[in-house]
Amino acid sequence: MKLFIDTANVEDIRKANDMGVICGVTTNPSLIAKEGRDFKEVIKEIAEIVDGPISGEVKATTVDAEGMIKEGREIAAIHPNMVVKIPMTVEGLKAVKVLSKEGIKTNVTLIFSANQALLAARAGATYVSPFLGRLDDISSPGINLIEDIVQIFDNYGLETEIIAASIRNPIHVTDCALAGASIATIPYSVIEQMTKHPLTDQGIEKFKKDYLAVFGE
Ligand code: E4P
């Protein structure tokens, strides 16, 4: 499973990229708003840091296919690595069909059912983003959705890649890898949590203590 970072914060992106663990970035309107910076400016900075797919979403206020297609072309023109993120609606699917025929990569977001993922794949989406954590939040196991989509895409050899999104903790990451998701997009805080284990910290302390006891500083 490949790992992307889910943020528009360039410092966090730089830190994760320096670790060598991420190969892509996803943003969304909330994450861009959180940074309070110009969309294009942030995206250009991200593209200078990470050499891989960068998802930039159409404006939350753009709901018609025509508007999404126009914005999608503009987003794609920012950098060759851009992926246009489009919400899972009828208008969104129409936009995906047109953009994918033009060779523009798309990521259909806000996927909460296997049928939505199937429709997005058939419309030509490069990626689908099922939201694990938000399903867990309403007491519906999000991992079941990831497993269903993996199975359906496998059954029919669909090439659309599954980006497990709305990841909230390290267990989500392990579960998605076991389920066969192509990619997990993860907030920096969770990437950091994934590096930790109390036995690793204890081991480092013990090695240090034993070394110092014999050889000193
Ligand atoms: C996906 O691409 C979204 O940016 C993201 O994963 C949403 O996560 P949240 O449910 O934690 O906001």
Question: Measuring CA to CA, which residue among 45, 42, 74, 46 is closest to residue 58?
Answer: 74
Series of mean pLDDT values for 10-residue runs along the chain (217 residues): 98 98 97 96 97 97 97 98 98 98 98 98 98 98 98 98 98 98 98 98 98 95
For residue 55, give the ligand 1 atom closest to its CA: 2
For ligand 1, atom 10: residue with the closest CA: 166
**How many CA atoms are closer than 13 Å to the CA of 122, on its beta-carbon side?**
10
| Cβ atoms of 71 and 61 closer than 8 Å | no
Cα dist from 154 to 1, 35, 178, 207, whole Å: 15, 38, 15, 46
- The CA 62 to ligand 1 mean position distance, Å, reads 19
Predicted complex ipTM exceeds 0.90: yes
Q: What is the pLDDT of residue 113?
A: 98
| Cβ atoms of 161 and 111 closer than 8 Å | no
In CATH, what is the architecture of 2-215? Alpha-Beta Barrel (3.20)
For residue 85, give the ligand 1 atom closest to its CA: 2
Longest dimension (CA), the chain: 72
Would you call 50 exposed, middle or buried from its count of C-beta atoms within 10 A (0-12, 13-18, 19+)? buried
The active-site residue, picked from 15, 85, 94, 196, is: 85
85 classed as catalytic: yes
Q: What is the pLDDT of residue 23?
A: 98
165 lines ligand 1 (CB under 6 A): yes
Q: Please report, for the chain, the start and end positions of each structural domain, with discontinuous segments joined by +.
A: 2-215
Q: What is the pLDDT of residue 217?
A: 86
